[in-house]
Structure 1
Amino acid sequence: MVPTLVGRIQTRLFLLAVVGGIVTALITPLLPADLPMAQRYQATYIVLAAVAVLGVGWELLYHLLQQWRWEKDWPMLFGLVTLVPEGLLVWALASRDLLPGLPGPVPTPAFVIHFVVVWLIVWLVANGPMRVPFIHWRFQGGQLT
């Protein structure tokens, strides 16, 4: 099964909202930051939302690049490695205060820990447990509906 563009977008948004939201709620208090807890949560959820919104644009770019591949799909490792350009873009926006709603500068260690942990867990769920409760997901081009 080759995931369709719509299927990849749906899966990305679903996993970031559900899995990313839960992971963010759990790790935010543990992140190294000198912000009050409410502002920590605000910052981490804004970063998560930015990853989701910008991710739709990334999926369009990835779809274009995949058209030159024989299988018209990424190997699983490419899906993992895409954390680098996506993380760098979100970090560049966050560090320049270009993400609306951020309560202040996001400390680099906190950003890196949050982004990498959420990305890895979402990637692992997409490539493993996601296939159990959503049996037809694989056969519908990755679409959840």
Structure 2
Amino acid sequence: MIPTLAGRVQTRLFVLATVGAVLTALLTPLLPMSFRDAYVVLLAVAVVGIGWEALYHLIMQFRWDKDWPTLFGLVTAVPEGLLMWVLLDLGLVPGVRGPMAWWAFAVLFAVVWLGQWLFVNGPMRVLFVKWRLRGGRLL
């Protein structure tokens, strides 16, 4: 499957709204942050993620197969996580009530990202067969 830009965005938003929301609900009580702040960060990751998908799609146009290895999808968590932390640290994410511990953000981001990546590269391919055949589009 070579994902289309629309497919990448739809997949990202769907998985954030399902797997990401569940993992956030399970993990937040163990971290020094409120549910409100955790879900605002999840929403910010979704919004900023649309821009990331456009950038990734542009970069992939220079590859011969217009896609990249699955491991690259996992490694993209590093720049995305760093950007989100910078935005949080500078107070540019509206709705976050107070300062967030860097380690709490890192744990939340890493667990949610890894959970999403595993879901997209495992169960989603089985549960949504047409998703694979439609360039990652769900609608």
TM over 0.5: yes
The interval holding the TM-score normalised by the smaller chain is: over 0.9
1:11 matched residue in structure 2: 11
Deviation beyond 3 Å, 4+ runs, structure 1: none
Structure 1: any 5+ residue segments left out of the alignment? none
Question: Which ranges in structure 2 are unaligned for 5 or more consecutive residues?
Answer: none
| Structure 2 residue aligned with 1:113 | 107
Q: Give the TM-score of the pair, scaled to structure 1.
A: 0.94
Selected match of 1:101 from 95, 99, 102: 95
SS of residue in 2 equivalent to 1:132 = helix
Matched, 1:123 2:117: yes
Question: How far does residue 109 in structure 1 lie from its aligned partner after superposition?
Answer: 1.0
CA RMSD of aligned residues (A): 0.8
TM-score calculated relative to the size of structure 2: 0.98
Could you say which residue in structure 1 is the equivalent of 2:25?
A: 25
Percent of aligned pairs with the same amino acid: 60
How many pairs were matched up?
139
Q: Give the 5 Å matches for 1:1-145.
A: 1-31=1-31, 33=32, 40-145=34-139
- Write the letter of the residue equivalent to 1:27: L
- For 1:74 and 1:125, the matched residues in 2 are separated by 18
